[in-house]
């Protein structure tokens, strides 16, 4: 299915995109230390902005750590040259061994600053390091940081040299006493594996002596005529000016100033100073919504001696999101939450994928799987993913790192820090509608969770708090629960058979944060790895039906705000796993949809996202399905009538089963397809909406015409050494429909400015006939990448253009 929803407001950049663009801009330098200022690409014409210098390229990786590597004059000529993001060890897509990264690792980066930055303050910023980092700049030790999912930074102005500087980082990827890990739990006791490395961006931030360090823009009374945006602004002063300074805030829609405010401020002490303003007269505005995610820039400018010294740009959307006793309401209308959980773990590299790849997950969830909400399980995720959610209209539940465990006092202190850092980093994202301030599926701890909730509220009182509950914590919830929204992970067998969905608890807003997963609803015996693409077909087919049943039952009462099912993508785990991979995803670890995704792929409006037909079966008459799909098999579609033909002869006319699945937008269709496949029959399904045929799909059972499919997510990349795109391959029939259980070896060869990240050759038997690698660019190389894939069924080629960094 093509992605039909488009990113909006591409001319409006996020703070993270602003950071990337700032490395590209021109420079204007005024004389005098106070008035040293920079104008860069992405800033407004009235303002000045700090320059941000990416350090993602040109790193040296020395493998296992030796203390001497922290010294500036250490001989690192034997180190490997790498680019960020980076994982400390080579991985396959399965069979990970945590011992591979349980060590301390050496990273080094040489850099020089442009002369025009000599009067500016310089900060070193890490977006994320797994799991601990001890940076040293020119031999000066910086405080260590522990925790892999949130940013940290240091002012290094006084430690820098005029010429060459050396940043050395000891990355400690060993099991540590930090969420989600813990001193009293085992190495593989967390449900998701945390491969070590510098897995997110690193950059230098050059700012004036006085600069705007943070802005929180909070929409208030959005649905009322006197709506406003309250601005909380943090100013960081290393020196004190003689005169008052001014703070100017503009709400921008492209080049149009929607609203503005200005305030004088006297700086009486160095360090951080907080001030506030409000933007009003917001009559001509467009609300942010899942179907129209309209965004605005908030440009905050620091003015000293009548001249702009520094500006700060962040992006917001105006929307009213409320969890009530009778459901979730967005901008005053009830919206049933319909979504999937997402892990940020990828094959081959763990968390270490670039921004383009992170954004692709949001596109899959919103555009292909038709979700209106995603849960960032179980940690704050890459801000590139959140930026994409803002742009696509994908609501977000974000939560602190953790999984079924509460540690000791030092551990709890780090959890509180993570709550603070998560809220401060992400509170301007309009897509985020709820903070998960309690650890996923942890036991009740009223004292701790009162503190985490209160901390989140003190930093952002515009969003409710929650945290997923499991059966032990639900028992005494009235005495021990103190969140705003009751969220439950519901895994149980209905007494009448099938998916069990409990009634909402009374008196508080209620939603489901997990269901389905790997639970076996056939007999209720519990969890097992049943949804592998190599599993028995009957089991594979149940996954989509159970997800459909779960969402149908969740929507049966307005008291239930909705369901975020488990889960979108498979991930690396040693809990209920097979060879180090857990298989609850409706898509596999490569993000290729399984049969389980057929339900989600068909829940879009046919007139908006296009008509879709996705059979919950393979049209195959091989040894595992000699009589074809069988009796009473499901076809998912957003059409209102399907006509089936076998070898062009009418076989059946079917309609959605709206009686059993009355609460779904598009219920499944059912038909009998048990027949003799000796004649290699062709199945054709025509889809109708309001009497018009809008789509037709054909499926071949003749395996002699099978072929290799090879496709990339992107046709153009940036030659910076970090950018990458997925290339996936699978065996399909003559019409492009998936063929199951096909083995063989895919051999890949590449020519041009790119490298293959992944298993090569790739064994299709292990993955059930589908797989992927990622193609990564080479620094400062442009041109055309040519990729050839060879399989016993044939050879396919594709090309990707690589353009220069701007």
Q: What are phi and psi of 113, to 5 degrees?
A: -100, 140
* Band (528; pLDDT cuts 50, 70, 90): low
- Identify the three-state secondary structure at position 725: strand
Rg (CA), the chain: 27
For residue 37, pLDDT beyond 80: no
For residue 30, pLDDT beyond 50: no
pLDDT at 393: 98
For residue 16, pLDDT beyond 60: no
pLDDT at 6: 33
pLDDT at 183: 80
pLDDT digits (tens, 9 = 90+) for 202-219: 999 999 999 999 999 999
Query: 151 CB contacts (<8 Å, ≥6 apart)?
Result: 125, 126, 127, 128, 200, 421, 425
pLDDT digits (tens, 9 = 90+) for 219-247: 999 999 999 999 999 999 999 999 999 99
Q: What percent of the chain has pLDDT over 70?
A: 93
pLDDT digits (tens, 9 = 90+) for 640-654: 999 999 999 999 999
For residue 806, pLDDT beyond 90: no
* Band (625; pLDDT cuts 50, 70, 90): confident
Tokens (6 digits) for 468: 């997923």
- Taking the C-alpha atoms of 13, 222, 235 and 19 in order, what is their torsion angle to the nearest 10 degrees? -10
Mean pLDDT for 663-690 is 95
* Band (20; pLDDT cuts 50, 70, 90): very low
pLDDT at 524: 61
Mean pLDDT for 258-274 is 95
Q: How far apart are CA 760 and CA 122, in angstroms?
A: 43
Query: 745 CB contacts (<8 Å, ≥6 apart)?
Result: 761, 762, 763, 764, 791, 792
Mean pLDDT for 8-32 is 29
* Band (360; pLDDT cuts 50, 70, 90): very high
Q: What percent of the chain has pLDDT over 90?
A: 86
pLDDT at 623: 84
pLDDT digits (tens, 9 = 90+) for 427-456: 999 999 999 999 999 999 999 999 999 999
Is-contact 344 375, C-beta < 8 A? Answer: no
pLDDT at 50: 72
pLDDT at 359: 98
pLDDT digits (tens, 9 = 90+) for 729-777: 999 999 999 999 999 999 999 999 999 999 999 999 999 999 999 999 9
Mean pLDDT for 645-669 is 97
Tokens (6 digits) for 672: 């009998």
Is-contact 669 660, C-beta < 8 A? Answer: no
For residue 9, pLDDT beyond 90: no
* Band (188; pLDDT cuts 50, 70, 90): confident
What phi-psi label fits residue 431: left (phi over 0), alpha (psi between -120 and 50 degrees) or beta? alpha
pLDDT at 299: 97
pLDDT digits (tens, 9 = 90+) for 589-615: 999 999 999 999 999 999 998 999 999
pLDDT at 805: 85
What rounded mean pLDDT belongs to the chain? 92
pLDDT at 11: 30
pLDDT at 804: 94
Prediction pTM value: 0.92
For residue 720, pLDDT beyond 80: yes
* Band (81; pLDDT cuts 50, 70, 90): very high
* Band (43; pLDDT cuts 50, 70, 90): very low
Q: How far apart are CA 449 and CA 467, in angstroms?
A: 10
Pick the more confident residue, 670 or 187: 670
pLDDT digits (tens, 9 = 90+) for 533-568: 999 898 999 999 999 999 999 999 999 999 999 999
Give the DSSP letter string of 415-463: HHHHHHHHHHHHTT-TTEEEEE-S-TTPPP-HHHHHHHHHHHHHH-TTS
């Amino acid at each position: 299915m093509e992605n039909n929803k488009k990113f909006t407001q591409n001319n409006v950049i996020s703070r993270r995109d602003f950071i990337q663009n700032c490395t590209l801009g021109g420079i204007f330098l005024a004389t005098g230390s106070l008035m040293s200022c920079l104008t860069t690409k992405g800033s407004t014409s009235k303002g000045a902005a700090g320059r941000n210098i990416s350090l993602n390229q040109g790193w040296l990786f020395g493998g296992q750590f030796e203390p001497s590597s922290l010294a500036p004059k250490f001989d690192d000529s034997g180190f490997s040259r790498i680019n960020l993001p980076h994982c400390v060890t080579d991985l396959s897509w399965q069979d990970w061994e945590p011992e591979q990264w349980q060590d301390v690792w050496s990273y080094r980066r040489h850099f020089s600053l442009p002369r025009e930055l000599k009067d500016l303050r310089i900060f070193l910023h890490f977006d994320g390091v797994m799991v601990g980092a001890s940076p040293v700049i020119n031999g000066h030790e910086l405080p260590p940081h522990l925790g892999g999912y949130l940013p940290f930074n240091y002012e290094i102005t006084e430690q820098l040299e005029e010429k060459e500087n050396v940043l050395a980082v000891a990355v400690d990827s060993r099991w540590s006493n930090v969420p989600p890990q813990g001193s009293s739990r085992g190495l593989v006791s967390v449900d998701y594996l945390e491969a070590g490395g510098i897995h997110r961006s690193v950059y230098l931030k050059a700012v004036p002596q006085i600069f705007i360090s943070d802005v929180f823009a909070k929409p208030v009374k959005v649905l009322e005529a006197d709506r406003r945006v309250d601005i909380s602004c943090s100013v960081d002063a290393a020196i004190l000016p003689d005169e008052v300074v001014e703070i100017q805030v503009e709400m921008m829609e492209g080049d149009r100033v929607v609203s503005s405010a200005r305030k004088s401020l006297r700086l009486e002490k160095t360090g951080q100073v907080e001030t506030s303003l409000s933007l009003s007269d917001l009559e001509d505005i467009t609300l942010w919504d899942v179907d129209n995610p309209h965004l605005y820039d908030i440009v905050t400018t620091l003015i000293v001696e009548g001249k702009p010294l520094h500006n700060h740009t962040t992006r917001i959307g105006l929307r009213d999101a409320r969890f009530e006793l009778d459901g979730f309401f967005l901008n005053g209308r009830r919206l049933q939450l319909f979504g999937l959980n997402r892990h940020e773990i990828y094959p081959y590299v763990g968390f270490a994928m670039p921004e383009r790849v992170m954004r692709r997950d949001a596109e899959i969830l919103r555009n292909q799987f038709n979700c209106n909400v995603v849960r960032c399980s179980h940690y704050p995720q890459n801000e590139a993913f959140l930026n994409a959610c803002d742009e696509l209209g994908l609501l977000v539940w974000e939560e602190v790192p953790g999984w079924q465990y509460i540690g000791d006092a030092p551990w709890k202190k780090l959890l509180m820090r993570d709550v603070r850092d998560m809220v401060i980093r992400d509170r301007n994202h309009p897509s985020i509608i709820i903070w998960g301030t309690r650890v996923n599926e942890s036991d009740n701890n009223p004292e701790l969770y009162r503190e985490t909730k209160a901390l989140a509220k003190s930093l952002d009182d515009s969003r409710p708090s929650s945290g997923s509950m499991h059966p032990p914590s639900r028992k005494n919830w009235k005495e021990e629960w103190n969140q705003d929204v009751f969220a439950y992970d519901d895994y149980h067998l209905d007494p009448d058979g099938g998916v069990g969905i409990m009634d909402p608890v009374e008196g508080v807003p209620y939603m489901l944060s997990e269901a389905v997963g790997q639970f076996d609803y056939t007999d209720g015996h519990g969890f097992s790895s049943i949804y592998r693409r190599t599993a028995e077909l009957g089991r594979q087919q149940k996954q989509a039906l159970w997800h459909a049943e779960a969402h149908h039952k969740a929507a049966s009462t307005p008291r239930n705000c909705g369901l975020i099912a488990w889960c979108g993508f498979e991930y690396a785990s040693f809990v209920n796993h097979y060879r180090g991979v857990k298989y609850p995803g409706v898509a596999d670890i490569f993000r290729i949809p399984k049969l389980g995704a057929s339900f989600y792929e068909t829940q879009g409006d046919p007139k908006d996202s296009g008509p879709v037909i996705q059979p919950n079966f393979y049209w195959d008459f091989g040894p595992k399905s000699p009589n074809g799909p069988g009796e009473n098999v499901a076809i998912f579609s957003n059409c209102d009538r399907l006509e089936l033909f076998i070898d062009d002869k009418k076989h059946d006319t079917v309609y959605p089963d709206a009686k059993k699945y009355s609460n779904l937008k598009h219920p499944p269709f059912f038909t009998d397809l048990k027949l003799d496949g000796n004649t290699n029959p062709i199945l054709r399904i025509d889809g109708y909406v309001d009497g018009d045929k809008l789509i037709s799909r054909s499926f071949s059972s003749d395996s002699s015409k099978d072929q290799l499919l090879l496709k990339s997510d992107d046709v153009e990349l940036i030659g910076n050494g970090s950018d990458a795109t997925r290339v996936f391959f699978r065996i399909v029939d003559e019409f492009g429909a998936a063929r199951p259980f096909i083995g063989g070896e895919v051999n890949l060869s590449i020519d041009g400015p790119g490298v293959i990240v992944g298993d090569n050759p790739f064994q299709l038997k292990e993955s059930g006939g589908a797989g992927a690698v990622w193609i990564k660019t080479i620094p400062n190389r442009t041109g055309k990448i040519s990729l050839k894939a060879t399989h016993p069924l044939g050879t396919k080629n594709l090309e990707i253009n690589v353009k220069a960094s701007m």
